[in-house]
Amino acid sequence: MNETIIEGPLYEARRKVYPQAVHGRFRRIKWTILAVALAVYYLLPFVRWNRGPGLPSQAVLVDFPHRRFYFFFIELWPQEVYYFTGLLIIAAMTLFLMNAVAGRVWCGYMCPQTIWTDLFYAVERFAEGDRRERILSDKRGWTLTHIRQAVTKHFIWLMIAWWTGGAWVLYFADAPTLVKDLATLQAPFVAYLWIGILTVTTYTFAGHAREQVCIYMCPWPRIQAALTDEWALNVTYRRDRGEPRVSVKKAEQLRRHGEPAGDCIDCHQCINVCPTGVDIRDGIQLGCIQCGLCIDACDTIMSEIGRPTGLIAYDTDINGQRRQAGKPPVYRLVRARTVLYAAIIALVGSIMLYALATRSSVSLNALHDRNPLYVLLADGGVRNDYTVHILNKGTQRSFALDVSGLPGADLHIPGTARGADGRLTVEVEQDQTREIRLSVQVKSAMVPHSPVGIEIKATDTATGQTVGVEDHFVPPNQ
């Protein structure tokens, strides 16, 4: 029996990545998205929105004690969790659509891990210098200068991580009030707990794990590989133009003699600026987050040596094959899968908008008593009892009850008197649920087993909505 002996470690040791600063249009796009995203995240809890007396004035608030979610003019209840389902579907389809159009563009520009890691890299360059200085500093070891720089870097990292956790808890309580309570040590323990948890995770993931999160922890690189196709735009090294790799002087000599020479001069700038340390010239890889920084670095070098830019660019697999065959590039952003994803987004979004526009501020639910199904009255009539739940999400408080589909029916609620107009009226406070026992009776037991509609209508507003629910009236002869 033959045995195979594996020598050496089973896993590759981590190679520390020292991304170099780069300038260009994709770097500017990333800075813009970073600034906007962080501004929204950190400042949104302090935006005010007037909802009237007795309601929170924070524009975006997850109100766990009262089981509400507020988003500007939208107020969602736990019973409306389907809106969150719709948002998850839209988010998933948007991610799929982005992948079908431009690969891992989400990873490269909008992923929270990318945004915070970019911010931490900026702090690192501020404290310790660019790539060359950081490499030399690590080689020299722990000098006084290195210690001072490291302390400065980690202090700023911790402050960013701390405020990241602090901003998160502000979405769950009134932000100005909670900030004051946190500063005076009067906030709930759970607030300090979550700030601590998010401080540690942000500091660890953005400051230390960095590219390891993208390569080993995140499932999206593996999922998107199964969703992409040959028409998706990806950061691509145009091998047909770049090979063979030679120096600038050697390339000039080869071209003068009519021999092939690639535009790639093997300067390694595309590798040096990569936040995950991959070589894009080896093709699309798991570690490539499609951020486009290697494009900026390569374009800068091409401009300096007098060669056309675009040696590394967003391109498709199809175009790589077409260039090798001497054909012009072709781009097809509108195709079956992009149309399908866009259609699903539009459909789900339209359904959600329609549901929001037409939803009622009152919810009604009725449950027929099962034991007994009916009660025979002394006067020969029959009575059915129901448990009715009224959920009031609006400003109205007074509701009149009625039934339809059962002529001559009379309504009774224990302890509730009729109004001046003879209608049975109940009071339900705003943002409250009330359970009532409703009796529906008719004078004769000889009525068919028929559906009955229980309805309520707001009486204290000029345009009160009528909300109804259907059940059954069960007579003795059934």
The CATH number assigned to the domain holding 377 equals 2.60.40.10
Q: Which helix (H) or strand (E) holds 468?
A: strand 466-473
* 403 and 303 in a common domain: no
Which domain does 454 fall in, by range? 362-473
Residue 106: C-alpha distances to residues 38, 66, 118, 131, 462 (Å): 16, 35, 14, 26, 49
* 205 and 61 in a common domain: yes
* 302 and 407 in a common domain: no
Confidence tier at 11 by pLDDT (50, 70, 90): low
Task: Say if residue 56 is preceded by a cis peptide, omega within 30 of 0.
Answer: no
* 464 and 403 in a common domain: yes
Whole-number Å distance between alpha carbons of 18 and 131: 5
Confidence tier at 249 by pLDDT (50, 70, 90): confident
Domain final residue, candidates 227, 252, 281: 227
Residue 462 reports pLDDT greater than 60: no
Q: 351 in a domain, yes or no? A: no
List the structure tokens of 31.
Answer: 């800075």
Whole-number Å distance between alpha carbons of 128 and 72: 42
Could you tell me if 309 and 237 are in contact, meaning their C-beta atoms sit under 8 angstroms apart? no
* 216 and 70 in a common domain: yes
Whole-number Å distance between alpha carbons of 362 and 352: 18
What value does the mean pLDDT take over residues 301-308? 91
* 211 and 77 in a common domain: yes
List the structure tokens of 310.
Answer: 């675009």
Confidence tier at 420 by pLDDT (50, 70, 90): low
Q: 144 in a domain, yes or no? A: yes
Q: 339 in a domain, yes or no? A: no
Q: Please provide the distance, in angstroms rounded to a whole number, between the alpha carbons at the two ends of the chain.
A: 81
375-376 vs 382-392, strand pairing mode: antiparallel
pLDDT reported for residue 468: 81
| Percentage of residues of the chain with pLDDT beyond 70 | 94
* 240 and 184 in a common domain: no
Residue pLDDT, tens place only, 75-120:
888 778 888 899 999 999 999 999 999 888 999 999 999 999 999 9
Number of domains in the chain: 3
What value does the mean pLDDT take over residues 26-52? 93
pLDDT reported for residue 449: 73
What value does the mean pLDDT take over residues 334-355? 93
Q: 355 in a domain, yes or no? A: no
| Percentage of residues of the chain with pLDDT beyond 90 | 44
Q: 406 in a domain, yes or no? A: yes
State whether residue 459 is helix, strand or coil.
coil
Confidence tier at 154 by pLDDT (50, 70, 90): very high
Q: 199 in a domain, yes or no? A: yes
* 200 and 251 in a common domain: no
Q: 120 in a domain, yes or no? A: yes
Q: 159 in a domain, yes or no? A: yes
Which one has a higher pLDDT value, 249 or 136? 136
* 240 and 212 in a common domain: no
Domain final residue, candidates 308, 324, 340: 324
pLDDT reported for residue 421: 64
* 269 and 403 in a common domain: no
